[in-house]
Every structure is written in C-alpha cells, then in structure tokens.
Amino acid sequence: MINEKFLHRREMAAWVVAAMVVLATGECVATPPDLRIRLNGRFGAVTLLPSEPLTLHLQTVPRQSPAVSGDLWFLALTSLGSFWYTDNQWWVASSTPVPVRSGSFDVTPRTLLNGVGLWEGDFSFYAGWDPWANGLIDWSALTVEAASARVTTDPVALALDHLNRVMDSEHNDFYVYKDLDDPGNHFVLPARMGPMERGVSMDLGWTNGCFQGRTCIRCTFDGIDWGGFAFLNGTLEGNQTAPQPNWGTVPGAGIDLTGAARLCLAVRGETGGERVELFAFSINDKPYGDSARKVSTGFVTLTPSWQRLCLPVADRDLHYIINGFGWVSSARETGGRPIAFYVDDISFEKPGPNVLRFLRSYDDPAGEHPVFRYGAFTYDNALALMAYLTDPTPQNMARAKLLADALVYAVDHDRFFTDGRLRNAYAAGDLPLPNGWKPHGREGTTRLPGWSEPDGRWVEDAYAVSTHTGNVAWAILALLNYVELSSESPEQKAVYGNAAQRMAQWIENHCRDSRGAGGYTGGYQGWEATANNPAGQTKLLWKSTEHNLDVFVAFRRLAMLTGDPAWLERAEHAKRFLDSMWQESEGRFLIGTVDDGVTPNRAVNPMDVNTWGYLALAGVDGSKDFRRGLDWVLNRAQVSQAGYSGFDFNDDRDGIWWEGTAQMVVALELAGRADEASFYRQHMIRWQAEALEGDGKAIVAATVDHLTTGLDWTYGRKRHVGATAWFIFALKSFNPFWPKGIAAATAP
C-alpha cells in the first residue's frame, strides 16, 4: 500500500517533469493562459501549522481573450494520495487524471480550496492546461503551474515560514496603495486633475472602516465642474526631497508592469449612489506617457459597503507606466451634488519574487512608530540571510542569495555616499527607488525608511539613516557566511567577497581609533550633508565592545578569505580593545567606552557582550575563560516571568529578551552545557507557540512591552525578524560568527 502510493507519487512527479521538458523545447502549439497559484495569498511554498487554514486561489492571465479551449486540470499530490479538483465534486481521490473543464471555457480566477484541518505532511498543487479538448493530458503542449504547502509542527520550519512571509509581504502583488506610507506602495504622487485643479481632495491616512490594514483613502469632490486625481510615479532630481509630477514629458521615468494580470481595488461610497470613474494609464498622448492604452471602469455607482473591482490589463503594453491609478467625478454624473468615497487595497496582480529587497524587522503594521512598522534593519537582515543558510534547501539558498545581492546592491547604490558604508536600516518594499527618481543625479539608489507627517512632509529617522560600525560588520559576516556555505561559482563568490571588503575598508578608513587601547569607534550618526543639514553626519566617538567583537571576527575571516595579512593586523587592533574591556576580576566584558575612547562605561550592563564574547572568541584566545561571561549572565540577567525562563538584555531583569536568550542557548550548547541549553530552548519553543502577539511561527521580541536595555531603546511585544533568526540559530546550534567552527575556521 505504502509502496503503491510512493510509486504513484513518483509517476506524477515524472508527469510534471515531462511536461516541463516539453515546454522547454518549445513545442507548444497555442498561446496558453498564464496560470498562477496563490496559497494564502502568497506565491511559492508555504509552511502551515496543523490548525492553520489554507486557501488555494488560481489567478489567470489570459494572453488574448479570457475564453480558451482545451483541457484544464488541478491536481493535489499528498501523503494520502492524489486528488483532482472537479467543479461539481470538490477534490476527488483518483489515480487517473480528471479534467475540471474540457472544451471551451473562461479561465476566470477561482478559489479551489478554502479549509482547515489538513493532515501533517507535504502537499504539491498543480494547475495544468493543454489546448486539445479530448479529456486526456496531451503531453506535447501542457502548461503546468505548481505550488507547495507543508503542514508541520517543526519549530524551525515554522520560524522560517515567518521570515518567508515577511520577505514576500510587499511582493505578492504590485501595490499602488496598501496603507499610508506602506513601503510596498508605488505611484505615490497623487496629482490633481480638472479645471483649475480645484474642488477635489484626498486623505491618504483615513483610519475609519477601511477595507484592509491600518488606513485607506478618503476622496471628495465638491460637485462643481469635474475633477479627480492621477497617481503618478513622478520624478525626483538633485536635492529634492519630494517627487514632482511628470505628465509624460520626462524620459526614463516609467515603471515596467509587464506580466500584470489585473488592476484590483476596493471602493465604497460614503452614503451610496456616488458616481465615479476609476482608471489607470490615462496619459496616452505624450512622448513619454503610458505605453498602455487607458483602462477604466467607466462611471460606476458606489454602494455604502466595500466592493472589489478588477480591470484586466494583461492585453496592454505595460512596459512603461507613469500613471498607475486614478479617479474622476463630474457635476453631470453627480447632479451637482458633492460626494465622498473611499478607496483601499489598490494593486496589480503581479508577483515579484526576485525583486531586490530586505525584510521589515517588525511584523507590526499597526505599530505606533513608523520606523518600526516599515524599517528593515541591516542587522536583522544579516541574521535572516544566515537563518536561511542553516537549512540549505534550494528555496532557502535562493532567498539567502537574494539578501546577499541586496547587501551588495546597497553598498554600491547609496543616494549620497560612495565609500562602502551601509545604512542602519533600509525601507522594506523594493530596495531601489523607481525609475525617474534620481537624488544627487544617481539612478536606482536605495530607499531609506520614512513616513509622512500630518502636514505632508516626508521624514526620516536619525538612527535608520546612520551608519553604526557593528551593523556594517554584521553585513560583512552575512556575506562571508554566504560565501562559505553556498555553492556559488568562484567568480560569484568574489563578487560577495569584494563587497564585504569594501564595507570592511570603510570601517578601517573611518572608524579606526588610536585612543586608549585602540579598536574601532561606533560609526557616524544622522543625515548626509544637504542644504538643510550642511554639517552632514557626526562622527561617534564612543567605542562598543560588541562592535569590536563583530569587527574582530569579520576582519579575521576576511584575512582568511583574501590571504591579505593587513586584515589580520586590523583584527588585532580590535582585539586589543576587547582585551581592555574584559574584566578578569568579574569574569565578564564591559559594554565599551564613553566618548573619550578610554573611560569604560559602567552605567549599562548588557548581557550580549558576554554571549557574543563567548561565540566570537572562545577557541581564538585561550588566555581567558570566556565561559565565565556566561555564568555572569546566568547570575545577573536570568528572569523567570509568567511561566517562562530566559534572560533580560541588562541586569534590571524587567522581562525576558528572547534574542538574548537564544544567544545564551547557542553559547551554552557550544560550551558543552547541553542541559542548560536544552532548558532554555524548551522555553523558547513554548513562547513561539503561545505568545499572544505571535502566530505560532514568529518570535515575539520580549515578554513585556518597553523592556529596558539601559540604552536609548527598548524591546516590545512585537514579532521580530532578528529574534526569530536567533531562535533558528538556537535550535540549529548555529554560531553566526564561526558557522563552521573556530577550529576548522582557523586551520591553515
């Protein structure tokens, strides 16, 4: 019985592979519709808890007309056999193919599965179409689309799914508007249309009764003449900090939407009966206007409840779009009556799995501070890259590569600096600015996180735009780990290694310090020099033990990668500072120095200098017993709270900081203290499953909101990419400083 199933699955896999091979040889006889499978709104593979619902939706992109002729199939391969979807019979178990439609039919988007209670195991879903309506699969002209789901209780697989979901959250579709300031938005410049450009207004941050998420758009028209808004890509030049309208006169300022199936949005009237036209691609008569002819709903009558409207766009030439959405109303249509209505969730059906991007650090779209809603911190993304390396499936390695590519892109495409520095954070969403946005004359520069104030000004966070030495060092470690653990070609590895060297050279050139015991200073703070900020960034003068631990390992490993002894000397320069911060009498590291670069800062006692101290230096420097640092953490930062045991960031013990707890687990495990490691690991696994703000997958950063660090930031009850990545390290006993072990790493 089991063997039969196994054989059957292999047969089916061969069926799909055969179809792919045929397609690759180009023997198709007709243009098939594009079939796209979404699982819970996501492309690709998803991992589910047994209790989690699964929705399987089919998107279709008709190439010529929605009516096609042929055979259409939907197949689910599962551990309990194969199932075929039929319109009347739901999913039926069958060992032979069952076509859902045979003949001529509309390939309309449809939901094929919407349920809970799937059994544990792997599920593969296929949609297949061939042009001969004979009820048989015709191998020579079969189009297949596949997606997979895994139902499991494995904590690592579930945690990785959290990273996947966050990584893809802005790229499952191509958004025009999701929420105010959402980094996934495009065509972000609304420009007035109509005589005198008056009589219309919009509130892009309306919060009452929205269709989806935190905000929607409230639109008004005063009932006189006509008017509306066009959502433009716009342009940005020189020192401008806000985009300017472009109605089709500027070349190189369009967005390529090729592959989009439909433009979909949600709309409702304030009272019902409002008459509006919704459209896109309206700029058709200008030299650099929309390449696509206008699509429009025509004038439609709104209802007081939300309606979902979709406009097919796949038959248009979408390679150069400057107007992604718009609306108008007119006195003639409204009978001279003023109207108000709402729009939300405006997106083109177009996945972007390969778009360069970083992960939002906190999965908290309703959170109080915009930089935590949307900022993708460099450190968290270095960790996410490494988390994928701990489970090197082809899918995970592809994601690690995309993050490595994003780091390389970031170091080469700053909007201002060309000296190898990274910023502390980037915007989630597309990493590059859109075409036509050229701050300081540069194209494709990286987007930094920000938000609009109520008066419309765009604001950025001082920490996010700064460059701290430790964050650069973590990016170097991420690239070095990718080079060591991936099977890239030597040429490609050199690309990542060279980018790591440019980052390291920035640290050496700008942060090497001769005061006191040497080492490297904290980095540079604030915004680059502009007309409003002529002084530019400020050099930080304090020195951090953590930063120097990161720099020490990064430089040592660069020396090994490049064979260049200069990096060894630089690593030793960091090491001298580390030696001065080790307190032999107490058996622990201090946090670093104050601004004079000499006087130790004894006001703050973080635990992670000791976990990182152990992970970075044990086995490198045999003259000190860094295990004593772990005992210091056990004695000074251990917290039991609400049934959980773990560690605080500092020694006031106001709650559990799970990222640090995971660091302790890795360190204790590598120190041979497996029982203690196992104890805290079990508490983390329970926290993953039980935290109120969690989803059974992510790690919520702390057991309390505003967990103190002793420094000028706190941790809260928010799902955190960094904590989730460290959780994966803890379960995999992965040391991010020396993933192959120090002995192996330092062998000649």
Residues that bind Ca ion (CB under 5 A): 71, 130, 132, 134, 136, 138, 179, 210, 212-213, 216, 344, 648, 650, 652, 654, 708
Are the C-beta atoms of 8 and 75 separated by less than 8 Å?
Answer: no
| CA of residue 612 relative to chain centroid, distance | 26
Q: Smallest distance from the beta carbon of 345 to Ca ion, in angstroms?
A: 6
Nearer to Ca ion, 44 or 606 (CB): 606
* Tokens describing residue 514: 């001769």
Nearer to Ca ion, 212 or 271 (CB): 212
Task: Give me the phi and psi of 263, to 5 degrees please.
Answer: -95, 120
SS3 assignment, position 635: helix
No. of helices (H) and no. of strands (E), the chain: 17, 39
48's enclosing H/E stretch is strand 45-48
* Tokens describing residue 518: 């040497």
Are the C-beta atoms of 649 and 708 separated by less than 8 Å?
Answer: yes
Q: Smallest distance from the beta carbon of 636 to Ca ion, in angstroms?
A: 11
14's enclosing H/E stretch is helix 2-24
Burial class (CB in 10 A: 0-12, 13-18, 19+), 287: exposed
* Tokens describing residue 621: 């420097």
Report the chain's terminal Cα–Cα distance, integer Å.
Answer: 54
Q: Smallest distance from the beta carbon of 142 to Ca ion, in angstroms?
A: 8
Distance, in Å, from the CA atom of 570 to the CA atom of 565, rounded to the nearest integer, reads 9
Nearer to Ca ion, 420 or 606 (CB): 606
What DSSP assignment string belongs to 197-253? G-SEEEEEEE-SS-SSSS-EEEEEE-SSSEEEEEEE--BEEET-SS-B--SS-STT-
Amino acid at 636: R
Q: Smallest distance from the beta carbon of 343 to Ca ion, in angstroms?
A: 9
In three-state form (DSSP H/G/I as H, E/B as E, the rest C), the secondary structure along 481-519 is HHHHHCCCCHHHHHHHHHHHHHHHHHHHHHHECCCCCCC
Nearer to Ca ion, 128 or 522 (CB): 128
Q: Smallest distance from the beta carbon of 596 to Ca ion, in angstroms?
A: 27
Mode of pairing for the β-strands spanning 437-439 and 236-238: parallel
For 292-297, the CB contacts below 8 A with 24+ separation are: 292/257, 292/316, 292/317, 292/318, 292/321, 295/263
Are the C-beta atoms of 320 and 258 separated by less than 8 Å?
Answer: no
Q: Smallest distance from the beta carbon of 104 to Ca ion, in angstroms?
A: 13
SS3 assignment, position 742: helix
Nearer to Ca ion, 130 or 161 (CB): 130
Q: Smallest distance from the beta carbon of 701 to Ca ion, in angstroms?
A: 12
Nearer to Ca ion, 71 or 414 (CB): 71
Nearer to Ca ion, 652 or 676 (CB): 652
Q: Smallest distance from the beta carbon of 227 to Ca ion, in angstroms?
A: 24
Q: Smallest distance from the beta carbon of 216 to Ca ion, in angstroms?
A: 5
Nearer to Ca ion, 216 or 558 (CB): 216
Nearer to Ca ion, 138 or 315 (CB): 138
Q: Smallest distance from the beta carbon of 126 to Ca ion, in angstroms?
A: 15
Nearer to Ca ion, 346 or 386 (CB): 346
CA atoms within 13 A on the CB side of 272: 4
Mode of pairing for the β-strands spanning 226-232 and 189-193: antiparallel
Q: Smallest distance from the beta carbon of 707 to Ca ion, in angstroms?
A: 5
Query: By Cβ distance, which residue is nearest to Ca ion?
Result: 213
Distance, in Å, from the CA atom of 372 to the CA atom of 722, rounded to the nearest integer, reads 13
Distance, in Å, from the CA atom of 254 to the CA atom of 289, rounded to the nearest integer, reads 8
Q: Smallest distance from the beta carbon of 99 to Ca ion, in angstroms?
A: 7
SS3 assignment, position 77: strand
Are the C-beta atoms of 320 and 254 separated by less than 8 Å?
Answer: yes
Nearer to Ca ion, 632 or 737 (CB): 632
Nearer to Ca ion, 265 or 464 (CB): 265
Distance, in Å, from the CA atom of 726 to the CA atom of 732, rounded to the nearest integer, reads 10
Nearer to Ca ion, 184 or 587 (CB): 184
Q: Smallest distance from the beta carbon of 368 to Ca ion, in angstroms?
A: 17
